[in-house]
Amino acid sequence: MKTVRIHEYGNADVLRIEETPVPQITADELLIKVHAASVNPVDWQVREGFYKDMHMHTLPLTLGQDFSGTVEKVGSSVKGFKIGDKVFGRPTLDRDGSYAEFIEVKANEVALMPNSITYDEAATIPVAGTTAWETLINKGKIQKGQRVLILAASGGVGSLAVQLAKNRGCYVIGTTSKSNIDFVRNLGANEVIDYTSQDFSERLTDIDCVLDTVGGEVQEKAFKVLKRGGVLVSIKNKPNQEMANRYGVRCEFVLVGPNAHILNELRNLIDMGQLHPVIDKVYGFNEVKQAQNYSQSGKAKGKIVLEVSK
């Protein structure tokens, strides 16, 4: 099968399209024929060696997290899936990934795909969608009527987070740059702040929940806008607990992994027309370098798709 692998860490030039054997599955696994993958920042971060010190990878490594596809083989102890089912999901970060014609995954990391969307669209949901759900709903515990601030609302996570918070009946505020203001408003945001010309921390107060996808100084400023008892959930870096104590708020850092339960919730919302995948660009398998470079530019507006097979 064809795969995109790295044999060393580095820039996009270390990406190699190679032939490798189709993986074998164990009793609790599925073999998936991948139709589409999506390109997440974590893919190029792994390629650059950001996770090298955690010793979770053995090189050569197949990159990629998100996938959509069809079940090709079912492990002997797996229940609930059959050959030919359309599925979507992501493996754990330590395993070979989804930039490949086939991927073997634990059955509990996979869910049936929404009926109402394409393979390309479905591939954009697992990482960004489970992250938006885990941060806002499980950790942020957002409720109807609350004021929710999404930092980088035009990104892969942000574009789904805005929709989820809106769907929960929240008043949603998003930050983005000028050219994406209408885009974020059309996702459902009540207010959009251009971070290049306005300081959101001087304009906002009484926020119940901040989803921080930016980190650093932006995260520190975000503490100021929370009401007492509010919560800051970051997917970027561990927030400063002393600062949280000073402002009387809760803070958390979350590293989100595979979660079939959340995928099922997202499928229901998508099939009810209440959550829409947002695709920015679609690349062919041979254009993987361009796809990763675009992700690394930090300018993606929604998600980037890598088509593996048609």
Ligand X SMILES: NC(=O)c1ccc[n+]([C@@H]2O[C@H](COP(=O)([O-])OP(=O)(O)OC[C@H]3O[C@@H](n4cnc5c(N)ncnc54)[C@H](OP(=O)(O)O)[C@@H]3O)[C@@H](O)[C@H]2O)c1
Q: How far is residue 275 from each of residues 80, 122, 139, measured CA to CA in Å?
A: 25, 12, 20
CA distance linking residue 198 with residue 191, whole number of Å: 13
Listed in order, strand segments (DSSP E) in 76-158 are: 86-89, 102-106, 110-112, 147-150
Binding of ligand X at residue 256 (CB under 6 A)? yes
Binding residue for ligand X, selected from 62, 175, 219, 292, defined by CB under 6 A: 175
Binding of ligand X at residue 195 (CB under 6 A)? yes
Binding of ligand X at residue 128 (CB under 6 A)? yes
Please state the φ and ψ torsions of residue 194, each to the nearest 5 degrees.
-80, 110
How far does Cα 183 stand from its chain's mean position? Answer: 19
Selected range binding ligand X among 37-45, 66-74, 114-122, 268-276, rule: CB under 6 A: 37-45
| Comparison of 210 and 256: residue with beta carbon closer to ligand X | 256
Residues of this chain, 280-299, that bind ligand X according to CB under 6 A: 295, 298-299
The CA-based angle 195-276-290, given to 5 degrees, is 65
Q: How far is the CB of 196 from ligand X (least distance, A)?
A: 7
Selected range binding ligand X among 10-18, 26-34, 88-96, 176-184, rule: CB under 6 A: 176-184
| Comparison of 54 and 255: residue with beta carbon closer to ligand X | 255
Yes or no: say if 178 and 194 are a contact pair by the CB < 8 Å rule.
yes
Binding residue for ligand X, selected from 3, 146, 163, 180, defined by CB under 6 A: 180
Binding residue for ligand X, selected from 167, 177, 201, 290, defined by CB under 6 A: 177
Q: What is the DSSP string of 146-198?
A: -EEEETTTTSHHHHHHHHHHHHTT-EEEEEE-GGGHHHHHHHT-SEEEETTT-
Q: Which residues bind ligand X (CB under 6 A)?
A: 40-42, 45, 127-128, 131, 151-152, 154-158, 175-177, 180, 195, 213-214, 218, 235-236, 254-256, 295, 298-301
